[in-house]
Amino acid sequence: MKKTVGIVGANGYTGSELVRLLAFHPHVSLSFLYSRSNPGIKISDLYPDLTAVCEDVLTDQPEETDILFLCLPHKESQNWLEQNPVKDETLVIDLGNDFRLNGECGNRSFIYGLPEFNKKNLEGAKSIANPGCFATAIQLALLPLAEKGLLDEVFTTGITGSTGAGQSLQATTHFTWRNDNISAYKTLTHQHVDEVLKQLVSFNHKDVSLNFVPWRGDFARGIFTSSMVKTDLVLSDISQLYRDFYADEPFVKVSEKAIDLKQVVNTNRCVIHIEKSGNVAVIHTAIDNLLKGASGQAVQNMNIAMGWEENLGLNLKPIAF
């Protein structure tokens, strides 16, 4: 029998991406799509790409389900759980940032859901805090070095598409502003820095300094990051370190060739490319911010927690042109 799924915040970008993925998942069925702002409207009327994929009507009345995804604005998931009690046996996966640093909520203890870092603890979990999009890209770039205690100071730049800012229209997401434009924002103060450092320090077993400059890009979806670290390791040894670390990970690929964002858009994959000049190594990563950086990773976490094949429902082809 298929497991029932509810999506709270189904009218947003991450919620609609979950609808798209779960509509074809062999082990689940969509039970309710919750929206406070659009009850009574078909999800396909908000997202025409879901026409003939899912015609469910959005509701503001949640139901009991086996699996619950929270796709709410940051700082709202905890309030929602307090106002809408969920049975203990329900698997709850939060895509916001409420539980990434402090995972306690009532009798639930949320486990950080970066599978390449925490897979064993995710098996059988009932409460999962899905990582942030930039946090995912940066951690996948640095985890192999952190495991060997090789991180001290890191300088990272990263560029993201407009969907990373959410569905609500803002001055910096308006087409006439975003088109043909690039700008830095939250320089050295991005909210994902603390999330990244918490995981890296636990792996690195010593303090790490992360200097992160994010950029807004002139495209809809995707993240490309470049992280610079000093190391005496030669390039071939670094590359082997990364290949060994990710050898059994179905969604991470270490490439010997230069990488492009289009290799990962519309997929749950992360591709990594490493370069080195002198004693500075540069680790490039590319992910889709709405999939490996959000909804795809949430489905990956669901599969692991439920004991299903990790890549179920996630065999997606990138958009080549």
- Residue 105 CA to chain centroid, in angstroms? 21
- 44 Cβ neighbours under 8 A, 6+ residues apart: 50, 51, 52, 53, 54, 55
Residue 205 neighbours by CB distance under 10 Å: 10
Using CB atoms within 10 Å of the CB of residue 84, give its burial: 0 to 12 exposed, 13 to 18 middle, 19+ buried.
Answer: exposed
Distance in angstroms (rounded) separating the CA atoms of residues 218 and 182? 6
Q: Show the tokens assigned to 96.
A: 């916001």
Give the side-chain half-sphere CA count within 13 A for 222: 19
Distance in angstroms (rounded) separating the CA atoms of residues 45 and 72? 20
Q: Are the C-beta atoms of 44 and 11 separated by less than 8 Å?
A: no
**Does 133 participate in catalysis according to the annotation?**
yes
Q: Show the tokens assigned to 165.
A: 């800012």
Catalytic residue selected from 71, 105, 133, 270: 133
Report, as residue numbers or ranges, the catalytic residues: 133
